Amino acid sequence: MSWLEQARRRRLAGRLACIAFLGGLAAGCFQPLYGNVSLTNSPPVAPALAAVDVSQIAAPSGSPEARVAVETRNQLIFDLTGGAQPPPPTHRLAIRMSSNRLSVIVDITSGRPDVEDYGLNVSYTLTEIKTGKPVVTGSTFARVSYDIPGQAQRFARARALRDAEDRAAKLIADNIRARLASYFVAGT
């Protein structure tokens, strides 16, 4: 082994040791956002999220939007509580939503859509129950596309739409949960 190769290996070993040392120092600076134990003196996020009461989402009874509203609310409740029994509520979340469908690709011979987009627009307000003061207001959206296999397969089209609605509801719930976690961690 030549002296040049030995010098390169020593330099590489020194760099790796430096990276490992700096990584060890930086690892102590982070804490999991949704953990139950806080490394700082701030309260953990998970119990604060679990204490959010999600109000019923208004939608016309018996409409497809009513099913999406229930799915969105259920996803959000599960995301906030983790499936456990929630503690007494400290905040109330009110949600307003609207949906739309858009034909993206249309078959020119039959005039029927091959690909559609399903959109869900949501605005929400988090209110502190004790004071009645709104602490967070925001809006989010989800756009998901779905294919319609074959022109005459109505059941496949209906099932694809339902799957798109469920995926959009999950995206909305994830977006709202992330925003609420940000509020409970940073207060903004």
Alpha helices, DSSP H only, in 28-52?
45-50
pTM across the whole model: 0.77
d(CA 136, CA 47): 18
Which residues, given as ranges, of the chain have pLDDT below 70?
Answer: 1, 25-43, 150-152
The pLDDT tens digits of the residues spanning 21-67 come to 877 766 666 566 666 665 556 667 888 899 999 999 998 888 889 99
State the helix-helix crossing angle for 64-81 and 154-186, rounded to 10 degrees.
Answer: 40
- CB 52 within 8 Å of CB 89: yes
Q: According to the model, what pLDDT value does residue 73 have?
A: 96
List the one residue out of 79, 93, 84, 99 whose CA is nearest residue 144. 99
Q: According to the model, what pLDDT value does residue 114 have?
A: 79
Three-class DSSP category at 105 = strand
